[in-house]
């Protein structure tokens, strides 16, 4: 019968064939010399393969990324890159050299402008821009990598990997590849007799290469308190009093930025003064932000699970195993997939800054000339519709919802708080509120299917500006939401449309509250409220355990 | 960068309070975002403002920020000189209010 002759193990046979061809390159066990790395890639990667380069948010398989740019494009071409971050020049060079042709990714960071150019010039076929969880999900559906170029701190000769402080994406990348008969190649900083802890079992890894240089790590989450402005202090006071205290927010994620750093540094001062210790901010899904050290040291924080590590924080984190997730080797175990899942389902509030909010409340970090991607924010900056556990904060936000009853009747259902912090005008007088998002222009110039929106207006519950807090979820119509947005949009084109009588009515209903309504004394909104005023103060709070990277040391 | 000078004049609120101190100075333009000199000036309650700023094209925004300050604080008989170093509209608003708070001990009713 025809059916009986069909082979059901073609992937496996293909995989074994590729590995067999590479055997002459292996020095010992699974170890391949760095000088043979390009040859190895030419041997095990075939045209049209889906390939992932572990370009995490922070740690980078930079050596393997460079090697991929050096392969013979007669042998290796039309690769479909499926990677979370496009953050190194080599991640795009591989398209310039016509080795790869298509990309599916999450986040572009410093390569965002060049990526937009490449797409425009037709050098890259754009698949889709994802959130991290979305891309990782598709690794197990229709974007399973054939070859994974991954990165770890150390390996033994059996291929056991130690990913240490910055585990990040490694487990999900390797699991998706290996168990669909793919090939896993790891660059490591050193090869050791015994790894400090086994983060990835050796039989999930095919080849190990000791890179000539340690992998690159970017300190993405360090914010120098010296750069926090008085206006950020004011917004932080409003958030703590008007949202965290109001709802009793216990579990949360803070975006990256000076606005949220200001909140972290106000907990031990302003938060303490309001008597909120033990009542708010106990559980975080968060990278080890140095600016959270004063709050941790003051006993505010019960638990933090992290997506990745942060440069200079290893010793501090290791010494606080009551708070962080620490392995038997005494170093942090971070994991982007788990932390994103935790941030999606486990927390009551997401708060972060953005570049633009439109008159409807949609917000975006896209500009017309950059494809920056999403990273993980949209998975936390949304109402997780599959959530089924309840907390006080979640229930209160649901009770206040202005449209919920018209959709599900009198059944109680809670709601995630999704908060955007916005300065009405940012540096160089760029307006924070606009009539139409630049994302529309980007979608047009780069030929994207939809304008890239970080947080959709119907997920957004609160906007905080210097003018006040808009409690958008309380609104019962789009018209009312737009009026509430205008009321806090200051002197921007959106804010100038504000009608004083509408704002008065919204303040009466508690949909808009100004600093005055919240009982916040403007004259106190200055940097003297910060628990640490510079990086050196953070080092002191940590008892010398935090070792800031050189670029943050001014003393 | 070329500096431009803007001049504004506002009518006070009906129930205004005269700015009492002879003068009050706040901020450092070199290392901060702006400085302001506030002076008592008998001018039928009017508030006059001279702004020196490197930013062009925001005359209308300046006018709105200053008008809001005058309306909210109900201050009168005041002349201000503002030297701006790229302060955002909100920062201007906040600095003016903070300066007035500081000077306020001497405000006569």
Task: Sort out which chain A residues have CB atoms less than 8 A from B98's CB and list them.
Answer: 522-523, 526
Q: Which H/E stretch holds residue B93?
A: helix B89-103
User: Would you call A230 and B61 a contact, using CB atoms and an 8 Å cutoff?
Assistant: no
User: Would you call B88 and A467 a contact, using CB atoms and an 8 Å cutoff?
Assistant: no
Residues A213 and A229 in one domain: no
Residues A370 and A259 in one domain: yes
Residues A233 and A344 in one domain: yes
> Within 10 Å of residue A44's Cβ, how many Cβ atoms?
23
Task: Please tell me the distance from the alpha carbon of residue A542 to that of residue B2, in angstroms, as a whole number.
Answer: 46
User: Would you call A523 and B89 a contact, using CB atoms and an 8 Å cutoff?
Assistant: no
User: Would you call A496 and B64 a contact, using CB atoms and an 8 Å cutoff?
Assistant: yes
Terminal C-alpha separation, chain B: 42
Q: Which candidate from B61, B65, B97 shows the least CB-CB separation from A522?
A: B97
Is A311 a member of any domain? yes
User: Would you call A490 and B89 a contact, using CB atoms and an 8 Å cutoff?
Assistant: yes
Nearest Cα residue to A553 out of A530, A532, A534, A527: A534
Domain segments of chain B as ranges? 4-106
Task: Please tell me the distance from the alpha carbon of residue A378 to that of residue A375, in angstroms, as a whole number.
Answer: 8
Helix axes A500-508, A478-488, angle to 10 degrees: 100
Q: Which candidate from B86, B89, B94 shows the least CB-CB separation from A522?
A: B94
Per the structure, how many domains does chain A have? 2
Is A3 a member of any domain? no
User: Would you call A429 and B65 a contact, using CB atoms and an 8 Å cutoff?
Assistant: no
On whether ipTM exceeds 0.85, the answer is: no
Task: Sort out which chain A residues have CB atoms less than 8 A from B89's CB and list them.
Answer: 424-425, 490-491
Residues A61 and A183 in one domain: yes
Is A551 a member of any domain? no
Task: Please tell me the distance from the alpha carbon of residue A506 to that of residue A180, in angstroms, as a whole number.
Answer: 56
Last residue of a domain, one of A169, A191, A217: A217
What pTM did the predictor assign? 0.92
Residues A177 and A276 in one domain: no
Residues A348 and A475 in one domain: yes
Tokens of A319: 């010494």
Task: Sort out which chain A residues have CB atoms less than 8 A from B101's CB and list them.
Answer: 522-523
A423 vs B: CB within 8 A: yes
User: In angstroms, what separates the C-alpha of A463 from chain B's closest C-alpha?
Assistant: 16
Q: Which H/E stretch holds residue A440?
A: helix A438-446
B91 vs A: CB within 8 A: yes
Task: Sort out which chain B residues have CB atoms less than 8 A from A423's CB and list them.
Answer: 88, 90
Nearest Cα residue to B19 out of B89, B66, B81, B80: B80
B residues 2..21 contacting A (CB < 8 A)? none
Measured between CA atoms, the residue of chain B closest to residue A430 is: B88
Up-side HSE of residue A40: CA atoms within 13 Å toward CB? Answer: 28
Is A12 a member of any domain? no
User: In angstroms, what separates the C-alpha of A234 from chain B's closest C-alpha?
Assistant: 10
Residues A131 and A267 in one domain: no
φ/ψ of A21, rounded to 5, equals -65, -30
Is A170 a member of any domain? yes
Residues A379 and A460 in one domain: yes
Q: A187 burial class (0-12, 13-18, 19+ CB within 10 angstroms)?
A: buried
The enclosing domain of A420 has a CATH number of 3.40.1080.10
Is A426 a member of any domain? yes
Cβ pair A81, A53 in contact under 8 A: yes
Residues A435 and A370 in one domain: yes
- Per-position pLDDT tens, chain A of length 555: 555 789 999 999 999 999 999 999 999 999 999 999 999 999 999 999 999 999 877 899 999 999 999 999 999 999 999 999 999 999 999 999 999 999 999 999 889 999 999 998 999 999 999 999 999 999 999 999 999 999 999 999 999 999 999 999 999 999 999 999 999 999 999 999 999 999 999 999 999 999 999 998 888 889 999 999 999 999 999 999 999 999 999 999 999 899 999 999 999 999 999 999 999 999 999 999 999 999 999 999 999 999 999 999 999 999 999 999 999 999 999 999 999 999 999 999 999 999 999 999 999 988 888 898 999 999 999 999 999 999 999 999 999 999 999 999 999 999 999 999 999 987 778 899 999 999 999 998 888 889 999 999 999 999 999 999 999 999 999 999 999 999 999 989 999 899 999 999 999 999 999 999 999 988 899 999 999 999 999 999 999 999 999 999 877
Residues A310 and A413 in one domain: yes
Is A291 a member of any domain? yes
Nearest Cα residue to A552 out of A280, A208, A276, A310: A310
Last residue of a domain, one of A217, A246, A281: A217
B97 vs A: CB within 8 A: yes
Residues A149 and A39 in one domain: yes
User: In angstroms, what separates the C-alpha of B46 from chain A's closest C-alpha?
Assistant: 23
Cβ pair A546, A539 in contact under 8 A: yes
Residues A203 and A301 in one domain: no
3-state secondary structure of A477: coil
Radius of gyration, CA atoms only, chain A: 25
Task: Please tell me the distance from the alpha carbon of residue A215 to that of residue A186, in angstroms, as a whole number.
Answer: 11
Task: Sort out which chain A residues have CB atoms less than 8 A from B58's CB and list them.
Answer: 429
A490 vs B: CB within 8 A: yes
Rounded to the nearest 10°, the torsion over CA A483, A368, A98, A178 is -20
DSSP assignment letter at B13: P
Measured between CA atoms, the residue of chain B closest to residue A521 is: B98
Task: Please tell me the distance from the alpha carbon of residue A205 to that of residue A179, in angstroms, as a whole number.
Answer: 11
Q: Which candidate from A229, A491, A522 shows the least CB-CB separation from B98?
A: A522
Task: Sort out which chain A residues have CB atoms less than 8 A from B55's CB and list them.
Answer: 429
User: Would you call A491 and B65 a contact, using CB atoms and an 8 Å cutoff?
Assistant: yes
Tokens of B88: 């955002």
User: Would you call A230 and B64 a contact, using CB atoms and an 8 Å cutoff?
Assistant: no
Q: Which H/E stretch holds residue A12?
A: helix A10-22
DSSP assignment letter at A271: I
Is A159 a member of any domain? yes
Q: Name the residue range of residue A113's domain.
A: 21-217
């Amino acid at each position: 019968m025809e059916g009986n002759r069909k082979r059901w193990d073609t992937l496996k046979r293909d995989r074994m064939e590729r590995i067999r061809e590479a055997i002459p390159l292996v020095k010992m066990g699974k170890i391949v010399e760095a000088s043979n790395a390009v040859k190895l890639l030419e041997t095990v990667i075939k045209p049209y393969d889906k390939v992932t380069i572990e370009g995490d948010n922070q740690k980078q398989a930079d050596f393997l990324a460079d090697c991929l740019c050096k392969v013979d494009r007669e042998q290796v071409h039309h690769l479909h890159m499926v990677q979370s971050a496009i953050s190194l020049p080599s991640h795009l060079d591989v398209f310039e050299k016509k080795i790869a042709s298509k990309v599916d990714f999450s986040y572009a960071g410093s390569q965002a402008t060049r990526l937009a150019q490449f797409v425009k010039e037709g050098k890259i076929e754009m698949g889709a821009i994802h959130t991290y969880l979305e891309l990782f999900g598709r690794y197990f559906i229709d974007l399973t990598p054939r070859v994974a170029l991954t990165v770890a701190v150390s390996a033994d000769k059996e291929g056991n990997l130690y990913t240490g402080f910055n585990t990040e994406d490694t487990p999900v990348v390797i699991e998706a590849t290996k168990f669909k008969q793919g090939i896993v190649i790891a660059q490591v900083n050193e090869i050791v007799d015994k790894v400090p802890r086994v983060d990835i079992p050796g039989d999930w890894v095919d080849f190990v290469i000791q890179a000539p240089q340690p992998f690159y790590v970017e300190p993405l989450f360090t914010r120098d308190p010296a750069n926090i402005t008085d206006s950020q202090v004011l917004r932080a006071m409003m958030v703590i009093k008007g949202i965290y205290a109001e709802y009793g927010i216990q579990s949360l994620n803070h975006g990256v930025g000076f606005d949220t750093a200001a909140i972290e540094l106000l907990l031990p001062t302003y938060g303490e003064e309001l008597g909120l210790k033990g009542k708010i901010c106990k559980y975080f899904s968060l990278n080890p932000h140095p600016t959270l050290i004063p709050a941790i040291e003051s006993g505010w924080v019960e638990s933090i699970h992290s997506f990745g590590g942060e440069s200079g924080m290893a010793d501090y984190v290791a010494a606080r195993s009551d708070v962080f997730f620490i392995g038997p080797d005494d170093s942090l175990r971070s994991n982007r997939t788990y932390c994103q899942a935790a941030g999606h389902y486990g927390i009551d509030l997401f708060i972060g800054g953005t570049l633009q909010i439109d008159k409807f409340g949609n917000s975006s970090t896209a500009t017309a000339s950059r494809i920056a991607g999403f990273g993980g924010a949209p998975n936390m900056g949304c109402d997780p519709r599959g959530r089924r556990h309840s907390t006080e904060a979640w229930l209160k936000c649901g009770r206040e919802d202005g449209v919920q009853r018209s959709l599900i009747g009198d059944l109680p259902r809670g709601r995630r708080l999704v908060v955007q912090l916005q300065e009405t005008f940012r540096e160089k007088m760029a307006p924070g509120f606009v009539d139409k998002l630049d994302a529309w222009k980007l979608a047009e110039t780069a030929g994207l299917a939809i304008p890239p929106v970080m947080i959709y207006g119907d997920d957004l519950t609160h906007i905080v500006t210097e003018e006040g807090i808009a409690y958008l979820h309380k609104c019962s119509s789009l018209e009312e939401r737009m009026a509430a947005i205008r009321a806090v949009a200051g002197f921007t084109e959106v804010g100038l449309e504000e009608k004083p009588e509408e704002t008065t009515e919204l303040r009466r209903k508690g949909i808009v509250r100004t600093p005055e309504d919240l009982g916040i004394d403007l004259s106190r909104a200055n940097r003297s409220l910060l628990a640490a005023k510079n990086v050196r103060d953070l080092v002191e709070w940590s008892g010398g355990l935090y070792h800031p990277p050189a670029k943050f040391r001014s003393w | 960068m070329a500096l431009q000078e803007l001049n504004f004049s506002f009518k006070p609120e009906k129930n205004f309070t005269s700015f009492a101190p002879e003068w009050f100075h706040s901020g450092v333009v070199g290392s901060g975002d702006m400085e302001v000199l506030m002076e008592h000036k008998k001018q039928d309650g009017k508030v006059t403002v001279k702004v020196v700023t490197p930013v062009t094209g925001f005359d209308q925004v300046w006018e709105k920020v200053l008008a809001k300050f005058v309306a909210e604080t109900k201050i009168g008989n005041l002349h201000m000189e503002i030297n701006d170093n790229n302060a955002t509209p909100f920062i201007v608003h906040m600095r003016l209010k903070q300066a007035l708070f500081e000077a306020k001990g001497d405000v006569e009713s």
